[in-house]
């Protein structure tokens, strides 16, 4: 199964939280400081990122 996501859609799913962001993907929550970290997280879940 091929999973794709646009980079913009990943960024839109971020929720500001204190000094960083909360990012949830496939039921797993990540606390990140840099918005660009969503790319590496999505790729670790097997997503192909479309820019």
Name the nearest CA neighbour of 4 among 42, 40, 35, 44. 42
Q: How far apart are CA 47 and CA 49, in angstroms?
A: 6
The predicted structure's pLDDT at residue 1: 83
Render pLDDT for 12-51 as a digit per residue (tens, 0 to 9): 999 999 999 999 999 999 999 999 999 999 999 999 999 9
According to the model, what pLDDT value does residue 25 have?
96
């Amino acid at each position: 199964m091929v999973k794709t996501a646009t980079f913009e859609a990943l960024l839109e799913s971020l929720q500001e939280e204190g000094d960083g962001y909360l990012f949830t993907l496939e039921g797993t929550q990540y606390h990140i400081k840099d918005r660009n970290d969503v790319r590496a997280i999505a790729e670790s879940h097997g997503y192909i990122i479309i820019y």
